[in-house]
Amino acid sequence: MQDFINNLPKLAKDKHNENKKFFDKLKKKTPKNLDYIMQELHEQEFERTDCLKCANCCKTTGPLFTDKDIERISKHFKLKPQQFISQYLRMDEENDYVLQNVPCAFLSADNYCSIYEVRPKACSEFPHTDRKKFQQISNLTLKNVAICPAAFNIVEEMKKLIK
């Protein structure tokens, strides 16, 4: 698994043009049952892939924290939202709250998330491969295949299935 994760940026770079073409075509001609296909591919992939053996998303990138996320997580720590923000977050170029540092401060040594029950919505939905109208997030997916081995595999399977 670790070798695959280490090679992902290169593998994703090699596949970038092919993937981009595929998603451009998918947007123009979207199969009616795409939501169903994605649900199936997502479930099959995550039966094989154990996130606890990976945690690459938590180690190399971080989620956006919405106001609701901040409210919920601050409450969990019994902090005021502003205290939580100044301790853990910064504002990025697009005015979104993101982690100050990666790996994420809430990632434990055994790859468990120490705030799993209250983690940001973006963490619980990553890599978004089971979301509806998947073709609409192709730019994000083109980036995610360089981070997430499961997303990489799912896109490879999509290309085999959808001609």
Nearest residue to 104 (alpha-carbon basis) of 42, 142, 56: 56
Tokens of 63: 């989620």
Q: How far is the CB of 75 from ligand SF4 (least distance, A)?
A: 15
Q: How far is the CB of 125 from ligand SF4 (least distance, A)?
A: 10
Nearest residue to 21 (alpha-carbon basis) of 147, 137, 138, 132: 138
Of 38 and 149, which has the nearer Cβ to ligand SF4?
A: 149
Of 142 and 147, which has the nearer Cβ to ligand SF4?
A: 147
What residues are paired with 122 via a beta bridge? none
Of 23 and 120, which has the nearer Cβ to ligand SF4?
A: 120
Q: How far is the CB of 24 from ligand SF4 (least distance, A)?
A: 24
Report d(CA 70, CA 21) in Å as an integer: 37
* Residues at the contact surface with ligand SF4, assessed by CB under 6 A: 49, 51, 54-58, 62-63, 104, 106-107, 113, 115, 119-120, 123, 126-127, 147-150
Of 22 and 46, which has the nearer Cβ to ligand SF4?
A: 46
Q: How far is the CB of 29 from ligand SF4 (least distance, A)?
A: 28
Tracing tokens 């896109």 back to the chain, one arrives at 155
∠ CA(49), CA(45), CA(106), 5° rounding?
A: 45
Would you give the end-to-end CA distance of the chain in angstroms?
29
